[in-house]
Amino acid sequence: MTHRAFPSSCAAARRCRPAGLLLLACFAALAFGAARAESNLELRSLAASCAACHGTDGHSLPGSPLASLAHLPPAYFVDRMRAYRDDATLASSVMAQIAKGYDDHQVEMLADYFASQP
């Protein structure tokens, strides 16, 4: 008597392969979505720290002496934040102290975020 477990199990594996690939694709999409949501949450948290002075989503209140961050060109925003952080002549500024808390990647993320605000 010959045992034919391999041929039949191989056929079963071939039938299940598309379902396995679909399941793998779903897990990959969930992982990507979770990473993107975490990144979005981090960005919203960073932007919220600016809201106390510069308004929600970078829109200063009418009549406020503080600049609105919304609609600023990203390069300008990045240059100003780096100047606050690195320029010794601005060291006494409140923004100098705040800017020191952000790394370059976070500054660039904020620049893109505020530039995209309606």
CB of 69 closer than 8 Å to CB of 109: no
What confidence tens digit (pLDDT) does each residue in 68-103 have? 999 999 999 999 999 999 988 888 888 999 999 999
What confidence tens digit (pLDDT) does each residue in 6-64 have? 555 555 555 555 555 444 454 444 444 444 445 688 888 888 889 889 998 999 988 88
Give the pTM: 0.64
pLDDT category of residue 4 using cuts at 50, 70 and 90: low
CB of 98 closer than 8 Å to CB of 55: no
For residue 44, the surrounding DSSP H or E stretch is: helix 5-54
> Furthest-apart CA pair in the chain: how many Å?
93
Whole-angstrom Cα distance, residue 41 to residue 27? 21
Spacing of C-alpha 85 from chain mean position: 21
State whether residue 24 is helix, strand or coil. Answer: helix
Domains, the chain, with CATH or none: 5-115 (1.10.760.10)
